[in-house]
Structure 1
Amino acid sequence: MLDNGLDLNFPAWPQYDDTERAGLVRALEQGQWWRIGGSEVDEFEREFADLHGAPHTLAVTTGTHALELALQVLGAGPGTEVIVPAFTFISSSQAAQRLGAVAVPVDVDLNTYCLDPAAVEAAITPRTAAIMPVHMAGQICDMDALGKLSAASGVPLLHDAAHAHGARWRNQGVSALGSMAAFSFQNGKLMTAGEGGAVTFPDAEQYETAFLRHSCGRPRTDRTYQHQTSGSNFRMNEFTASVLRAQLARLGGQIDTRERRWPVLAEQLARIPGVLPQATDDRCTRNPHYMAMFRVPGISEQRRNELVDALVARGLPAFAGFRAIHRTKAFWETGAPDESVEAIARRCPNSEALSVDCVWLHHRTLLGEEEQMHAIAAVVSDALAGL
């Protein structure tokens, strides 16, 4: 409780109870701790697929590995390009770059922070192997436009759904939209085992290819080391899967709470002069709200960072928005396009703006009580006034 009576004692994250404990013991006592011979990973894949409308799910070690594996299945590699948002976490581009592909940043919509279909269309070349929509903070990209663009160009989509567990577009799960989707279970995500990832597949052939590649190219029943393709060890272990099964079971109720809280918080934030909360698209019929995001247009990057520090000092779990990927050293190490930083910046003005003026709050804030949404807005207003 703050001196002014505002309650910022939000629920802790990660959340767990005896369900996770029981799952860990169950995995321990089955006597097989890896997926070949165990049952937890298989059961988690089935349950996750059911929730997302996916014919097939493959659990893997991390969300970054999920993207890398999916891109490999799609043929991304040397001589190819992958279109990614300029405003995203760096894993979106690095997954392509580590395969030897060129990551091509394109701009996002300034209201939803999601991939701009017009910018995508302008970036497609004969070398484009995939288009990667990132469903920012749980807000699904314009899948009507991107789906039509993919069908017309023949370039497949790969959903970066690291923020979009349980999200729905026109009442369909991300994985029911006919494309592969990659999810993350890193410690801060909407469901977590500390690390972990998953890829959902629309058809069995892609799934089987991915299974081989995630297990060093080795078939499930192989006993004579008949490695059929190149790959790596991206297998999820049984303990991780047991925790994720428990996390998945409470995901729906948590999303329900966040969906009730975000409209209240967004309305309160919008009343603060100079603050613009992330917009929503009504076609996204279920938004899990991985982050509560807002902009302060016109603020400098230094002042934005000072604002984040002020919010943290007042008890809010606040963070600066992602830096545009072309503004990081990592992006230029390998697999960068033959353009200068400033050339990319000129064609990605919205991503440039978001790099400077965007702030986000951890999703556990949206698990608080409705009165706490008013408290959050009051703290943001006070912090801005104090800059």
Structure 2
Amino acid sequence: MTSAEFPAPRFPEWPQYGEEERAGLTRALEQGQWWRVGGAEVSAFEREFADFHGAPYALAVTNGTHALELAVELLGIRPGEEVIVPAFTFISSSMAVQRLGAVPVPVDVLPDTYNIDPAAAAAAVTDRTRAIMPVHMAGFFSDMDALGKLATDAGVAILQDAAHAHGARWRGQRVGEFGSIAAFSFQNGKLMTAGEGGALLVPDRETYDEGFVRHSCGRPPSDRRYLHETAGTNYRMNEFSGAVLRAQLARLPEQIARREANWPILRALLAAIPGVEPQGRDDRCDVVPHYMAMFRLPGITEERRNAVVDALVARGIPAFVAFRPIYRTDAFWSAPTEPLSVDDLARRCPTTEEIGRDCVWLHHRTLLGDEAGLTAIASTLTAVLSEH
């Protein structure tokens, strides 16, 4: 059957919006102040986002990459010092470290959850290590028990890259309840969005105040005489984005519940297809928001995997190739790195090599649909694999 003959499944559109977003935009427009220092929307969003995640404070910023960069600054990480990162992640995880002159140390991930391998992280700790950055891949929490112990034993910080983990829980704990800084993204495809945007969860008022000054060109909110206190830049979120994100946050719990209900159905359907292995779940993950629906095709070549994704897209399935290992990008090598080669890092990260070659992800809007859509995904994938 050709793609033209194959019936395309229907999935909910993304982003989702309604009267709540329209009302928020009007509210921001009519308040007469469109930037955060004079307006009320961003500050209100920060309070609501912090409360939702169990954190004392949240600081809204321009995007998730800037959130990570600011977090690295707030941790006092200096040029030449090291941050351990998973090799399987979006490039912002390492780039934020490199932009400040520090060195990302890629380590391998686990073959089932695709999250950072605590044993690999432990093996990479040196006297230059200042932080470990778990990325909660697709909203599945990294092993915070093992990583927390490792960080305590090594005397280093945890910096959570929570770009996929809005609303996630680990053994009852929300992202903001671990006492560590966590960075979020609100880019257009994320679980809640204003097109772009980001936020930090921070554990105390002192860190929030320092973050505010650094994200506002070194100026505290009360400054009227341009007495810039420290080096910084403009990472301020605008009032329109803050208003939209307040509405997005309000609809997030229902969306998470729907995705959580649909993932076991889709996972079972995918697991029944020969040669398909869905992403695994650590039983300690109480709530997974499912930023992506991910699965592997073990043994497939990268070229064939890419062809499978192209065929799925042609048949109406919002599919994507997974991240390539960060060290297999030119960007990684354009900034500070360890004195190692691509081949050296590939040998250190064999699971990442495999996942980067054989993994596929589906947009989370597929999990907001009905069971007919989930069945269509499985039947379409079965047909595509038989042809490729």
Check whether TM > 0.5: yes
Partner of 2:363: 362
Q: Deviation at 1:205?
A: 1.6
Q: Specify the SS of the correspondent of 1:159.
A: strand
Q: Deviations for 1:63-82, whole angstroms, at most 9, x for unmatched residues?
A: 00000000110012312111
Q: Tell me, in whole angstroms, the C-alpha distance in 1 between the residues paired with 2:234 and 2:277.
A: 43
Q: Tell me, in whole angstroms, the C-alpha distance in 2 between the residues paired with 1:260 and 1:310.
A: 27
Q: Tell me, in whole angstroms, the C-alpha distance in 2 between the residues paired with 1:377 and 1:6.
A: 13
Q: Deviation at 1:243?
A: 0.4
Alignment of 1:27-106 (within 5 A): 27-106=28-107
Q: Deviations for 1:2-40, whole angstroms, at most 9, x for unmatched residues?
A: 988866110000011111111111001000111111100
Partner of 1:340: 341
Partner of 2:133: 132
- Tell me whether 1:175 sits opposite 2:176 in the alignment: yes
Partner of 1:223: 224
- Tell me whether 1:318 sits opposite 2:319 in the alignment: yes
Alignment of 1:216-365 (within 5 A): 216-365=217-366
Aligned residues: 386
Whether the aligned pair in 2 keeps the contact of 1:11 and 1:364 (CA below 8 Å) is yes
Q: Deviations for 1:122-154, whole angstroms, at most 9, x for unmatched residues?
A: 111111121100000000000010011111111
| Paired amino acid for 1:322 | F
Q: Specify the SS of the correspondent of 1:361.
A: strand
| Paired amino acid for 1:9 | R
Deviating runs (4+, > 4 A) in structure 1?
2-7
Partner of 2:159: 158
Q: Tell me, in whole angstroms, the C-alpha distance in 2 between the residues paired with 1:262 and 1:202.
A: 32
Whether the aligned pair in 1 keeps the contact of 2:293 and 2:362 (CA below 8 Å) is yes
Q: Tell me, in whole angstroms, the C-alpha distance in 2 between the residues paired with 1:372 and 1:20.
A: 27
Whether the aligned pair in 1 keeps the contact of 2:7 and 2:315 (CA below 8 Å) is no
Q: Specify the SS of the correspondent of 1:157.
A: strand
Q: Tell me, in whole angstroms, the C-alpha distance in 2 between the residues paired with 1:326 and 1:10.
A: 34
Q: Deviations for 1:211-235, whole angstroms, at most 9, x for unmatched residues?
A: 1110111111011111111110000
Partner of 1:9: 10
TM-score calculated relative to the size of structure 2: 0.98
Q: Tell me, in whole angstroms, the C-alpha distance in 2 between the residues paired with 1:121 and 1:209.
A: 30
- Tell me whether 1:195 sits opposite 2:157 in the alignment: no
Whether the aligned pair in 1 keeps the contact of 2:8 and 2:316 (CA below 8 Å) is no
| Paired amino acid for 1:77 | R
| Paired amino acid for 2:182 | A
Q: Tell me, in whole angstroms, the C-alpha distance in 1 between the residues paired with 2:286 and 2:196.
A: 28
- Tell me whether 1:213 sits opposite 2:214 in the alignment: yes
Whether the aligned pair in 1 keeps the contact of 2:69 and 2:97 (CA below 8 Å) is yes
Q: Tell me, in whole angstroms, the C-alpha distance in 2 between the residues paired with 1:350 and 1:6.
A: 36
**Residue segments in structure 1 that go unaligned for 5+ positions in a row:** none
Partner of 1:380: 381
TM-score calculated relative to the size of structure 1: 0.98
Whether the aligned pair in 2 keeps the contact of 1:212 and 1:228 (CA below 8 Å) is yes
**Residue segments in structure 2 that go unaligned for 5+ positions in a row:** none
Q: Specify the SS of the correspondent of 1:294.
A: strand
Q: Deviations for 1:147-193, whole angstroms, at most 9, x for unmatched residues?
A: 11111111100000000000011111111111110000000000000
- Tell me whether 1:21 sits opposite 2:27 in the alignment: no
